[in-house]
């Protein structure tokens, strides 16, 4: 079925297509079109359920009022919640959000960037994958705002909004130490990206400051792309290989979920037998018995800051990048209480 065009509206309103275009693009006052004519055109457009062609509008105005969002996994609770905040904030400014997931795959990320370029988005929010730095530099050269989130490239001068991953990991590991746990391991993913490096460094620094043992046998790195059963197998093998292990820190919430499943299948009691903590909160952590201690990122604050930076850059581009680091919070629950029965 053919869509409603500006010509259709003009015919019913008894005006020229140019007049309709001016009204629908917010230029009625600038072009001295009367309020009566403007209201008539808007009423007809609404009745006919007219939807502008964003690509065509972009060619005419240079603006599509769309933002491209690339995340690691939109099904992940953290990214889904953050996307909702950013979508709501962008809508307040008249922008719509187009998004896709990379699954931490660089080639997929590059493909998504090409799609968003074709859609002529006005700005980009990107959770970068490994080796995406050249593409980020190229995006910057187009003069379209780019804000990185969750992680960034230290060698690339860019806008970003992240949390203090080092401090979050340090705090939750220190909490375990203060609770009396003595042999603490970490399960993370195979990655040299800044956020995962910072979490591992925060973990090791806390062990050192609390005079607790640390060696490579207490660190398990698992490839992101493994299937669920493979994750569980790797985690169980790791946990059972460490003599005297009494606590474990999962460096992401999905690792935490796999970890809980693995520990339950081993028949271990979370809390008294093995302390469990995770980076990033999840509804499951709150509902699980015992509930799971975690480092929570301020999702609403992150989302609002990202959109605010984008709007500032769209309206008044700055010479220097805005680099915002927010503080995560430690949510203490029953899984890190060795005396909890």
* pLDDT tens string 106-138: 999 999 999 999 999 999 999 999 999 999 999
Q: How many alpha carbons fall within 13 Å on the CB side of residue 124?
A: 31
Same fold, 6-52 and 165-297+330-336: no
CATH for 165-297+330-336 is 3.40.50.2300
Q: What is the pLDDT of residue 194?
A: 96
Answer yes or no: is pLDDT of 176 > 70: yes
Supply φ then ψ for residue 8, to 5 degrees. -65, -45
The first and second tokens of residue 1, run together, are 């079925």
The DSSP 8-state label assigned to residue 216 in this structure reads G
Q: Where are the domains of the chain?
A: 6-52, 64-163+299-326, 165-297+330-336
* Percent share of the chain, pLDDT over 70: 96
* pLDDT tens string 229-286: 999 999 999 999 999 999 999 999 999 999 999 999 999 999 999 999 999 999 999 9
> Does domain 6-52 bear CATH number 1.10.260.40?
yes
Residues 182, 188, 193, 196: is their CA dihedral positive or negative? negative
The first and second tokens of residue 239, run together, are 């946990």
Answer yes or no: is pLDDT of 83 > 70: yes
* Percent share of the chain, pLDDT over 90: 79
How much is the mean pLDDT over the chain? 93
CATH of 64-163+299-326, one of 3.90.180.10, 3.40.50.2300, 1.10.1740.10, 2.60.40.420: 3.40.50.2300
Give the C-alpha separation, 265 to 290, whole Å: 15
Give the C-alpha separation, 204 to 198, whole Å: 10
pTM of the model: 0.82
């Amino acid at each position: 079925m053919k869509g409603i065009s500006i010509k259709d509206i003009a015919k019913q309103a008894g005006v020229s297509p140019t007049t309709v275009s001016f009204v629908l693009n917010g230029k009625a006052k600038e072009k001295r079109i009367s309020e009566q004519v403007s209201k008539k055109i808007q009423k007809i457009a609404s009745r006919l359920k007219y939807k502008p062609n964003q690509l065509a509008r972009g060619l005419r105005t240079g603006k599509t009022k769309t933002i491209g969002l690339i995340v690691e996994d939109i099904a992940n609770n953290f990214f889904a919640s953050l996307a909702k905040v950013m979508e709501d904030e962008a809508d307040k400014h008249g922008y719509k959000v187009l998004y896709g997931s990379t699954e931490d795959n660089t080639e997929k990320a590059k493909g998504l960037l090409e799609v968003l370029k074709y859609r002529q988005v006005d700005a980009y929010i990107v959770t970068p994958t490994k080796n995406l730095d050249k593409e980020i530099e190229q995006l910057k050269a187009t003069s379209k705002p780019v804000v990185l989130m969750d992680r960034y490239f230290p060698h690339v001068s860019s806008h970003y909004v992240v949390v203090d991953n080092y401090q979050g990991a340090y705090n939750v590991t220190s909490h375990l130490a203060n609770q009396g746990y003595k042999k603490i391991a970490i399960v993370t993913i195979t990655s040299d990206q800044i956020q995962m490096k910072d979490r591992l460094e925060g973990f090791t620094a806390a062990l050192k400051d609390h005079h607790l043992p640390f060696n490579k046998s207490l660190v398990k790195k698992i490839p992101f792309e493994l299937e669920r059963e493979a994750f569980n197998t790797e985690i169980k093998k790791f946990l059972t290989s460490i003599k005297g292990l009494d606590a474990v820190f999962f460096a992401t919430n999905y690792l935490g979920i796999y970890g809980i499943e693995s520990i339950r299948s081993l028949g271990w009691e979370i809390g008294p037998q093995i302390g469990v903590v995770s980076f990033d909160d999840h509804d499951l952590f709150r509902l699980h018995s015992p509930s799971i201690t975690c480092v929570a990122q301020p999702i609403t604050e992150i989302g609002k800051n990202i959109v605010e930076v984008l709007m500032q850059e769209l309206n008044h581009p700055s010479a220097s990048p805005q680099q915002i680091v927010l503080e995560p919070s430690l949510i203490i629950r029953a899984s890190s209480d060795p005396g909890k029965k």
